């Protein structure tokens, strides 16, 4: 097969944008969608995951329902719900840009997975840790803030790393609601240039570079917050 990369420097027909600059702006959109959704997912997921370990039954139930809801509907369908259904049911949301809707769709979907990890992290701590905090007179909130969560978050960094890499991959569904991110670029540029292999190779490479960067970044964080003398899950 004969590859030809010259077309990346051609303009797309508007006289100023080249395919290359379009590619990079698409990468930017991918990072923006995934980044914003990740922040949302991390915040919501931490709260929901923590609530799931509460000893107040109805709070835990509500948090469980959240997880089940967002975990059992395909992401693409959730994106369509945010894009087509919610604005038509709630008219004030009609003018919200589709970028924001996709961020919410992807963010809430991922929040259920983050919540699951955070819950597992907290529950993997020895039960005595909670008791030790309480026995010192810490309130429930203080026990979570100073005793349980600092360890739980260290424990869940590896699974959260894969979730962060997943969110980059999952942001590709934004193509379905016309966000000009990498996958939509791939489809449109392939159509226009008929150089599908080159286009897909470029896009795929950018996805892999992004995922690898996140992986390294999280490994760095993991190293920074490592607790001396603590080997995960010993005892």
Partner 1 sequence: MIGNLDLSFFNWELVSNFLAKGFYFSIQLTLIAMAGGIVFGTALALCRLSGRPWLALPAATYVNTMRSIPLVMVILWFFLLIPLLIGRSMGAELSAIITFTLFEAAYYSEIMRAGIQSVARGQVYAGYALGLTYGQTMRLIVLPQAFRNMLPVLLTQTIILFQDTSLVYAIGAYDLLKGFEVAGKNFNRPVEAYLLAAVVYFVICFSLSSVVKKLQTRIAIIR
Partner 2 sequence: MIEIKNVSKWYGSFQVLTKCSTSVKKGEVVVVCGPSGSGKSTLIKCVNALEPFQEGEVVIDGTSVGAAGTDLPRLRSKVGMVFQHFELFPHLSIIENLTLAQVKVLNRSAEAARDKGLALLERVGLTAHADKFPGQLSGGQQQRVAIARALAMDPMCMLFDEPTSALDPEMINEVLDVMVQLAQEGMTMMCVTHEMGFARKVAHRVIFMDKGEIVEDATKDDFFGKPRSERAVQFLSKILQH
Positions that interact with partner 1 (CB under 8 A)? 1, 68-69, 71-78, 80-81, 84-85, 88-89, 91, 165, 168-173, 175-176, 183, 186-187, 190, 196-197, 200, 203-204, 207-208, 211-212
* 74 near partner 2, judged by CB under 8 A: no
* 139 near partner 2, judged by CB under 8 A: yes
Query: Residue 25 belongs to what H/E stretch?
Result: helix 19-52
To the nearest whole angstrom, how small is the minimum distance from the Cβ of residue 203 to partner 1?
7
What distance in Å separates the CA atoms of residue 25 and residue 38, rounded to the nearest whole number? Answer: 19
Site string for partner 2, 152-171 (x = CB under 8 A): --x-----------------
- Say if CB 87 and CB 94 are below 8 A apart: yes
Coil vs helix vs strand at 118 = helix
For residue 28, the partner it binds in partner 2, partner 1, none, with Cβ less than 5 to 8 A by kind, is: none
In the set 39, 43, 90, 136, which binds partner 2 (CB under 8 A)? 136
For residue 151, the partner it binds in partner 1, partner 2, none, with Cβ less than 5 to 8 A by kind, is: partner 2
In the set 6, 13, 92, 128, which binds partner 2 (CB under 8 A)? 128
To the nearest whole angstrom, how small is the minimum distance from the Cβ of residue 31 to partner 1?
14
For residue 135, the partner it binds in partner 2, partner 1, none, with Cβ less than 5 to 8 A by kind, is: partner 2
Closer residue to partner 2 in complex, CB, 60/134? 134
To the nearest whole angstrom, how small is the minimum distance from the Cβ of residue 139 to partner 1?
33
What distance in Å separates the CA atoms of residue 96 and residue 83, rounded to the nearest whole number? Answer: 10
Q: Residue 183 has which token pair?
A: 């996958």
For 11, list phi and psi in degrees, rounded to 5.
-85, 160
For residue 150, the partner it binds in partner 2, partner 1, none, with Cβ less than 5 to 8 A by kind, is: partner 2
- Say if CB 185 and CB 23 are below 8 A apart: yes
To the nearest whole angstrom, how small is the minimum distance from the Cβ of residue 233 to partner 1?
15
Q: Cα dist. 139→47, 51, 144, 146, 224 in Å?
A: 17, 15, 9, 10, 29
Q: Cα dist. 58→67, 120, 134, 199 in Å?
A: 14, 19, 22, 51
What distance in Å separates the CA atoms of residue 86 and residue 194, rounded to the nearest whole number? Answer: 37
Q: What is the CA radius of gyration of the chain?
A: 22
Using CB under 8 A, list all residues that contact partner 2. Answer: 126, 128-129, 131-139, 142, 146-147, 150-151, 154, 227-231, 235
């Amino acid at each position: 097969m004969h590859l030809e990369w010259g077309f990346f420097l051609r303009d797309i027909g508007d006289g100023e944008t080249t395919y290359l600059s379009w590619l990079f702006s698409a990468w930017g959109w991918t990072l923006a969608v995934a980044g914003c959704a990740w922040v949302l997912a991390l915040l919501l997921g931490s709260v929901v995951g923590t609530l799931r370990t509460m000893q107040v039954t109805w709070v835990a139930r509500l948090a469980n329902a959240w997880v089940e809801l967002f975990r059992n509907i395909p992401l693409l369908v959730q994106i369509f719900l945010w894009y087509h259904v919610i604005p038509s049911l709630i008219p004030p949301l009609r003018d919200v840009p589709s970028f924001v809707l996709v961020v919410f769709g992807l963010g809430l979907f991922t929040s259920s997975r983050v919540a699951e990890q955070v819950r597992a992290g907290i529950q993997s701590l020895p039960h005595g840790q909670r008791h030790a905090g309480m026995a010192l007179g810490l309130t429930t909130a203080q026990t979570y803030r100073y005793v349980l969560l600092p360890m739980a978050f260290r424990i869940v960094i590896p699974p959260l790393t894969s979730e962060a890499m997943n969110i980059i991959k999952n942001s590709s569904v934004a193509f379905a609601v016309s966000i000009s991110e990498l996958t939509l670029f791939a489809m449109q540029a392939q159509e226009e240039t008929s150089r599908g292999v080159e286009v897909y190779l470029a896009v795929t490479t950018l996805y892999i570079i992004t995922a690898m960067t996140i992986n390294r970044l999280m490994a760095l964080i993991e190293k920074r917050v490592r607790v001396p003398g603590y080997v995960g899950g010993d005892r």
